[in-house]
Amino acid sequence: MSEKKQRSYALEVSLIVAALIGAFLVQELLNSTNDPTVPNIGSDGNVLTGDSDSANDSEVNPNETASKVEKVPTEYFPNLTDLASEPDWKQLDSFQNTISKEDFLRELDEVYTIGGTWKKWIVVAGDHALIKTHAQDLERTYRLNFLTNTDPEPSAKEEALETAKTVETVKYWRPREDIKYSDESLPLQGVRIVLDPGHIGGSYAKMEERQFKYKETAPVQEGNMTLMVAHLLERQLKVLGAEVELTRSTNFPVNPHRVEYYQNYAQAKMTFKKDIVTPDTVERASEKLFYRAGEIRERARIINNEYKPDLVVCIHFNAAGSSQNVLIPNEHLHMILNGAYEKGEISKDDQRFQLVKKILQRNHSEEVALNSSVARALTIQTGLPPYMYEPNSKRAVNVNNDPYLWARNLVANRSFDCPVIYCEPYLANGVDSHARIQVGDYEGLRYVNGMLRPSIFREYVTAVTEGLVNYYKQREISE
């Protein structure tokens, strides 16, 4: 190499290095100066793909917390839900004598199961229930004593409830009346809220089957849209006095494990179930375990052990099953409360435990109040009609004759040990919403699809905010 060439080569190298450092610094600067709660999205459709290229297995996971990580089992146990471990029934001890037999039976029959499927697992006697704890050994039971009128002290119930409140691992959330409120201008004062932007999005959107592409338009990725709503909502709720955390703040899994970690478990399960085991089927099953059970379990672990909120808001955009090249004209809205455990679900030891725990924590009444308030606000803001399940559905049960409220047993609303507001508005592949999604986020009003309106994301945020404010502002002001 001539001296001249060498010099220009050296110059080139140093220019490249300088450019790289420059790009890094600009990136860092952007990261620190951009308001992280407002994705800066134009009308070019970038909203839909977002920071998808940031998701790379070799990078540091920005969602990851420093706390301990759940081990992935390698063995499959048919009496437990995927990746679950055996429940600790002793956790329910502090709820002894806190619920009447009538209340317990009513919730079992009307909310948590359909057609009396619980009877195989729970035997209700005079003043107690015997709950089978092990599907493999039906002799093993947990005895739950009911609150009875013959309890010696009239304060027994109060006392038991007080004890239940203090056992943090068992019940960390507070109903509305227990959250202190002293400043009328902050209607969400003191309320601890976790926002859970559904799915992962980004480069995981395709794998998790949450990507929709209509003709030549930009692909719609649910996980990116839910994250945008969560960021806007976080800022709004904090202004109103709430303490807010997000389960994720990027299009990156919260789950520290990756697909390959689940292969042994997937193979064990498929072998047990006598499914066809090929490298392809194992890969697909491992992917599902990674982005669904594994991901939600990790979010639940963080919510239940670290954030311990009063409620979780699960943010989703619905979609209607159809081929990729069709947009659906009729969109709808519904909220999903925990309940309607199917026959196969209540037969899992861990789900049966969660069901009983939900009943004893009085989760349902708080969940109904929260979801109906948000449903009302969403209806007013979006004008969407309710989604109706089949009247004889085995997986969904209508709640309180409110057409917008449905009980269903989802991993997310079951695993979070507090009331959950689970929103399913819009259709990402609906004619109107798809047009609005393509425009992206914007401030103020724009003329979109024949109407003057806010961005679909801000409309969502306004509705959830209003629903929460309308509920929590009814608290009594304390000194």
Which residues lie near Zn ion (CB under 5 A)?
198, 316
Q: How far apart are CA 122 and CA 120, in angstroms?
A: 6
Minimum distance of Zn ion from residue 306's CB (angstroms): 24
Region for 401 from its dihedrals, namely left if φ exceeds 0, alpha if ψ lies in -120 to 50, beta otherwise: left
| Cα–Cα distance, 43 to 41 (Å, whole number) | 7
C-beta of 114 vs 232, nearer to Zn ion? 232
Residue among 316 and 348 whose Cβ is closer to Zn ion = 316
Q: How far is the CB of 219 from Zn ion (least distance, A)?
A: 16
Give the nearer residue to Zn ion in terms of CB position, either 224 or 363. Answer: 224
Q: Judged by CB, which is closer to Zn ion: 205, or 340? A: 205
Q: What whole-number distance in Å separates Cα of residue 17 and Cα of residue 208? A: 37
47: which 2 tokens? 């909203």
CB of 390 to Zn ion, least distance (A): 20
H-only helix segments in 207-337: 222-239, 263-272, 279-288, 295-302
Could you tell me how far CA 324 lies from the centroid of its own chain? 26
Instruction: Say if residue 183 is exposed, middle or buried (CB neighbours under 10 Å; 0-12, 13-18, 19+).
Output: exposed
CA 238 to the chain's CA centroid: 20
- Residue 15 has φ and ψ, to the nearest 5°, of -65, -40
CB of 99 to Zn ion, least distance (A): 33
Residue whose beta carbon is closest to Zn ion: 316
- Minimal distance, residue 68 CB to Zn ion, in Å: 28
Strands, E, within 122-202: which ranges? 122-124, 128-132, 141-145, 192-197
* Closest residue by Cα to residue 424 from 367, 392, 365, 378: 378
In whole angstroms, the minimum distance from the beta carbon of 328 to Zn ion comes to 16
As given in the structure block, the two tokens for residue 359 are 């009943």
> CB 222 → Zn ion: shortest distance, Å?
5
The nearer residue to Zn ion, 198 or 425, going by C-beta atoms, is 198
Nearer to Zn ion, 198 or 339 (CB): 198
CA angle 41, 47, 49 (to 5 degrees): 135
Q: How far is the CB of 161 from Zn ion (least distance, A)?
A: 35
Q: To the nearest whole angstrom, how small is the minimum distance from the Cβ of residue 196 to Zn ion?
A: 10
CB-wise, 198 or 430, nearer to Zn ion? 198
The tokens describing 27, both together, are: 């990136």
Rounded CA gap, 2 and 13, in Å? 16
240 vs 396 by CB, closer to Zn ion: 396
CB of 22 to Zn ion, least distance (A): 39
What the block records as the tokens of 48 is 């839909």
Query: How far is Cα 455 from Cα 442, in angstroms, rounded to an integer?
Result: 6
Nearer to Zn ion, 121 or 457 (CB): 457
Alpha-carbon distance of 237 to 467, in angstroms, equals 11
Closer to Zn ion by CB, 225 or 368: give it.
225
Helices 456-472 and 222-239: angle between axes, nearest 10 degrees: 40
